[in-house]
């Protein structure tokens, strides 16, 4: 009898579980929630969701964010090539029709999807084939989005064709050039262009509404770049990443608040922005004495050598990447020239690459502390790789005692500094002395985060030291990532 009741219960439980599996919980959600879910997908994925239920069929037509990726909308070129038998010499007569069929198909589908959409498309991202430029497809898409859908936030990326690598250095050779009409971008509030060659600035004519502009892997000359910046009168956020074609970089924008420069090789750099609040320099190849920065209201300064692309460029050009301590040395007039940089007075956040085991760099950092009365947070990335041909320093005991001998009163250390973040910590004597100095002197310090490269055993001795700040907490972590992954993650985090 009892056995029969247990069997009956099991049968009922199986039936309930089966009913739950068959029940469509997602389709019962409100339309607004479904639209949010679909907006996280590429457009091809969002459209395919229509097979799930009739209710999903046309919901994608109401989402305000669309992402097109031509490589996923039709059979990708890589699959076309892999489907063929291997040949010693590629048969271009057979390959070419397939490639152009793919390009034609992607253009047709993007146009159909844009015209089928109902309502406004506020944000649109398109990643297309290089040959779409040669056929004028990209210009057609942008005109359609502007005139029909009122797009305000646009991102365009030219994907490498089959056989190319995304890490390829941009050049003037063998590239398709977009022929955008005059003033085509003048209704946008945000624009991102990736992997293009641009030889004129006229598409940006009258772009007074453009607040955010990101140019990545763009090949353009100085005249084109200056013309773009001149026409973007209201620009507040500008990023110039991994771009070539110009030797002199001059940025003079009265309303610019955020400036990001990455992996650029120039002979001279001049930044004059009265309203600038955030400046990020990553892997810039430029002589320190030819770097001028005038940003009196700068709040955050970042200077790193994280970009893998920048390292490639440095090797190719045979020039060194500009480091933070050289910029500071130029600011303080250490190169025998009058200082041409001004950005320390209101600085509250400082993020740099710096070797604390170097006497010279430690001295420069101490001067930076004395020159930044409002500094509240500092992040230092210690060197991951040992420099080549490193020379032994005979006065190691002087270096180890440097921070201990800093008796001079420093306003930001004693009254402002709240957060310290150290990456690549190896618990060397000089590194330990620096942390001890902060623990002993910083009266309002709230947190010290130390990411150890090897072991936390030596760093744990810091936990038992007496602390001047009663609210101070010390967070020790062991880095489990390899150096290259750490570079990439840190780079992406800073450039967001």
Instruction: Note the pLDDT of residue 84.
Output: 47
Spatial neighbors of 337 by CB under 8 A, at least 6 apart, are: 289, 330
Question: Within a 10 A sphere around the Cβ of 345, how many other Cβ atoms?
Answer: 12
pLDDT in tens, 133-156: 878 889 999 999 998 999 999 999
Length in residues, the chain: 496
Lowest mean pLDDT among 270-279, 289-298, 304-313, 334-343: 334-343
Instruction: Note the pLDDT of residue 38.
Output: 64
What global pTM score does this model have? 0.83
pLDDT in tens, 188-198: 999 999 999 99
Question: Cα separation of 80 and 355, whole Å?
Answer: 50
Instruction: Note the pLDDT of residue 116.
Output: 85
Question: Cα separation of 360 and 328, whole Å?
Answer: 12
Instruction: Note the pLDDT of residue 191.
Output: 98
Is the pLDDT at 57 greater than 70? The verdict is no
pLDDT in tens, 384-417: 655 444 444 444 445 567 887 776 778 999 999 9
Instruction: Note the pLDDT of residue 129.
Output: 85
Most confident among 25-34, 151-160, 276-285 (mean pLDDT): 276-285
Lowest mean pLDDT among 163-167, 269-273, 323-327: 163-167
Question: Cα separation of 139 and 154, whole Å?
Answer: 13
Instruction: Note the pLDDT of residue 391.
Output: 43
pLDDT in tens, 259-268: 999 999 999 9
Alpha-carbon distances, residue 407 vs 51, 261, 309, 377, 401 (angstroms): 73, 37, 42, 21, 12
Spatial neighbors of 225 by CB under 8 A, at least 6 apart, are: 201, 240, 246, 249
């Amino acid at each position: 009898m009892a056995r029969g009741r247990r069997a009956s219960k099991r049968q009922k439980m199986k039936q309930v579980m089966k009913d739950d599996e068959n029940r469509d919980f997602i389709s019962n959600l409100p339309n607004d929630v479904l639209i949010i879910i679909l907006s996280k997908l590429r457009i091809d994925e969002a459209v395919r969701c229509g097979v799930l239920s009739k209710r999903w069929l046309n919901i994608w037509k109401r989402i305000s964010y669309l992402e097109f990726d031509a490589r996923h909308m039709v059979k990708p070129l890589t699959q076309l090539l892999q489907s063929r038998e291997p040949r010693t010499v590629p048969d271009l007569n057979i390959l070419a029709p397939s490639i152009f069929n793919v390009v034609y198909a992607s253009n047709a589908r993007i146009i159909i999807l844009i015209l089928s959409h109902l309502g406004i498309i506020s944000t649109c991202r398109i990643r297309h084939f290089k040959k779409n430029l040669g056929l004028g497809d990209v210009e057609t898409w942008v005109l359609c989005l502007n005139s029909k859908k009122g797009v305000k936030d646009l991102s365009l990326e030219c994907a490498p064709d089959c056989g190319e690598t995304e890490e390829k250095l941009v050049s003037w050779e063998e590239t398709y050039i977009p022929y955008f009409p005059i003033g085509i971008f003048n209704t946008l509030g945000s624009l991102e262009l990736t992997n293009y060659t641009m030889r004129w600035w006229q598409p940006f004519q009258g772009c007074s509404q453009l607040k955010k502009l990101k140019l990545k892997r763009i090949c353009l000359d100085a005249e084109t770049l200056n013309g773009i910046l001149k026409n973007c009168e209201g620009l507040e956020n500008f990023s110039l990443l991994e771009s070539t074609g110009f030797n002199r970089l001059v940025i003079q924008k009265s309303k610019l608040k955020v400036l990001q420069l990455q992996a650029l090789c120039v002979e001279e750099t001049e930044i004059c922005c009265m309203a600038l609040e955030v400046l990020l320099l990553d892997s810039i190849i430029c002589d320190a004495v030819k770097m001028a920065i005038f940003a009196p209201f700068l709040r955050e300064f970042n200077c790193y050598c994280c970009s893998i692309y920048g390292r490639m460029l440095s090797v190719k050009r045979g020039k060194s990447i500009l480091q933070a301590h050289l910029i500071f040395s130029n600011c303080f007039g250490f190169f025998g020239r009058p200082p041409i940089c001004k950005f320390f007075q209101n600085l509250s956040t400082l993020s740099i690459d710096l070797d604390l085991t170097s006497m010279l760099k430690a001295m420069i950092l101490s001067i930076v502390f004395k020159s930044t009365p409002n500094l509240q947070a500092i992040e230092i990335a210690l060197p991951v790789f040992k420099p080549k041909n490193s020379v032994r320093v005979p006065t190691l005991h002087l270096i180890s005692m440097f921070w201990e001998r800093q008796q001079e009163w420093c306003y930001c250390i004693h009254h402002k500094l709240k957060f310290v973040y150290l990456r690549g910590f190896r618990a060397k004597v000089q590194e330990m002395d620096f942390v001890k100095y902060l623990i002993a002197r910083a009266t309002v310090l709230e947190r010290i985060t130390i990411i150890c490269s090897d072991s936390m055993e030596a760093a744990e001795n810091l936990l038992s030291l007496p602390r001047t700040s009663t609210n101070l907490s010390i967070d020790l972590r062991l880095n489990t990532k390899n150096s290259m992954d750490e570079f990439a993650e840190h780079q992406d985090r800073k450039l967001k």
